[in-house]
Chain A
Amino acid sequence: MKKLYALVDCNNFYVSCERMFDPSLHNKPVVVLSNNDGCIISRSEEAKALGIPMGESAYKARQVLEQNNVRVFSSNYTLYGDMSRRVMNVLSHFSPDVEIYSVDEAFLNLTTLLTNDIKQHAIKLRSTVQQRTGIPVSVGIAPTKTLAKLANRLTKKQKDKQGVVLLQEQEAIRHALKITAVGDVWGIGHRNARKLAAFGISTAWDLSQATDSFVKKHLTVVGLRTAKELRGEACLDMEMAPPAKRSICTSRSFGKALTSMDLIKEATASYASSCAAKLRRQRTCAGLLTVYLQSYPDKDEQVYYNSKTVMLPVATNSTLELVHYANLALQPLYRQGYHYKKSGVIVSELCAQDHAQMPLLDTIDREKHQRIMEVIDKVNARWGRGTLISAEQGVYAPEENHPWKMRSEMRSPRYTTHINEIMVVKS
């Protein structure tokens, strides 16, 4: 049977989330900044029209932003996560197979759709998501996932703003391939595009017409799969359940350069405790813990980067234990005189919580730890993350005195998840 996939993509997702709860942003240029307010990661159409590039550092763009009264937001991942959940839930009513590809993108398998009017189905999907969640989406539909991605890209160029592109007829697919640069094909990228240009391959169509042996030689089997998908041969199936995580990592850039070991210790302890909470949420324990530390590049010097991995005596997901070992691993990494930029904690060798091996000589009362963790998780679920923390994370006036804490000075309220931050309407 001929396959059929849709790629649904939320338009300017983060900006759309902000706009949903703040009508004053309508028709205005708006951008959202990354973690730590570093660079621009989402732009409204009006901001794009001002020529503000994606990924531009907020510092570099400052003048353009100010001159044009662009509304600037720190990222509000709590809000975006909840809005994403709503969008994905609504999508699940339009196909029995939904693969959440990223926070703002999902593949839908439409192969067994019992209607001939596929476009109508897509238009209905679009208006339903828009109505229920307020988020505008665009839909690309085609016989392979790579072509669906490509179709979705073309919705952005459409003049009639319908937001749906269906590539089903041979002629439509051929035309779409011819107007798409090869570097814009899903999985090719601009480095490969430069390589291919030397052989006269500049469009998606050129790539689809290249011989298998040529593509395999220059782009490996992965590239061959892409070429086949462009020809309409489905090689990528739906990946329904995300593969079990092999490791969990928490790392952040510090809010400002740190030189003092005490503050780095606090930050690292926080990352360890966040890993521990993630482990408990997915009911796994870690057997291995890695800490790394990285400095800013200095005038003539190289960046200092170092890491240390410790094997845990018993696989665990206790905050107290993981914070303790993260601290031990961090100590030897510290060198005086550097300006540190970021640290991170990675836990790996994960196993199911119920299968953690118990040693004969154990000095830790694991049942007690588990009971403490249950209380911590319950309290933090109810009153917000960070209500109960380990003392290692720093307890002195936590709001003001955490220079390592992420900067997010322009974050909007968490409208959908925090009762004290819900939207206010004038009556």
Chain B
Amino acid sequence: MENFTKHPFLLSSPFELLPDNYLEAVELPLVHSRVAAGFPSPADDYTVEVINLQNFLIKDPDSSYLVKVMGNSMVDARLHDGDILIVDRSLLNRSIKTLTGNVIIGKVNGEFTVKRLICKDQKYYLQPANEAFSALEITEDMDFQAWGVVTWAIHKIKH
């Protein structure tokens, strides 16, 4: 391709490769400021949009999914049976090394599981958070893949 920067007037909107973090949207607070007849409300400058929980919990809607937990192997990490998890796949863009320490959704031999990924003596494990369960070593011959990183757990406090 030619060097387009030489012809700035020929281009309406030249673009370039986006950096890795390009999807993190910049959010601006919405301030309502109306021009009204009479005395302006002094509070008007301070009214902003109400809190949007979705915007707060979900950074990247295109790569985020909701899943439901079934089972008790992660109770000590405060993930309970029936909780809803927010899983962000955009955080997968790292080596397995940088994923360690995170609670992830993993695909193991054709099934999903939620566990903490840990590294010990240069071996990787799927570590439950419940004494009644044992860790699973991730081996070469295992069909393992990280599906997403758990970012939030929504737990209902029942009456």
Contacts and interface: CB of A to CB of B under 8 A. Distances in A.
Interface in B93-150: 93, 105, 107, 110-115, 128, 143, 147
Interface string A117-147: 0101100100000011110000000000000
A423 B112 contact: yes
Nearest to B113: A426
Contacts of A95: 15
B73 A425 contact: no
B62 to A, nearest CB: 5
A426 B18 CA distance: 37
Given A114-B16, A131-B90, A427-B114, A422 B62 contact: no
Contacts of B90: 131-132
A131 to B, nearest CB: 6
A296 interface: no
Interface in A83-102: 86, 89-90, 93-96
A170 interface: no
Interface stretch (B5-13, B30-38, B40-48, B49-57): B5-13
Nearest to B133: A427
A113 interface: yes
A124 B17 contact: yes
A426 B4 contact: no
A24 B69 contact: no
Given A23-B112, A131-B89, A427-B81, A112 B69 contact: no
A113 B15 contact: yes
Contact of A426 (B22, B89, B111): B111
A254 interface: no
Interface residues of B, number: 48
Contacts, number: 115
Given A23-B112, A424-B68, A425-B112, A112 B62 contact: no
B111 A23 contact: yes
A358 B68 CA distance: 51
B89 A424 contact: no
Contacts of A131: 63, 89-90, 92-93
Nearest to A116: B1
A90 B110 CA distance: 27
B112 A112 contact: no
Contact of B63 (A24, A94, A132): A132
Interface residues of A, number: 35
Contact of B14 (A89, A114, A124, A422): A114
Interface string A398-427: 000000000000000001100100111111
A338 to B, nearest CB: 47
B67 A422 contact: yes
Nearest to A422: B66
A90 B63 CA distance: 9
Interface string B61-101: 01101111111111000010100110001101100000000
B72 A133 contact: no
A425 B105 contact: yes
Contacts of B67: 422-425
Nearest to A92: B62
B17 A24 contact: no
Nearest to B80: A427
B156 to A, nearest CB: 12
B110 A24 contact: yes
Contacts of A133: 62-63, 89
Contacts of A86: 62-63
Ranked 8 nearest A-B pairs via Cβ: A132-B63, A427-B71, A114-B16, A425-B112, A112-B14, A24-B110, A23-B107, A423-B67
Interface of A: 1-2, 4, 23-24, 26, 86, 89-90, 93-96, 112-116, 118, 120-121, 124, 131-134, 415-416, 419, 422-427
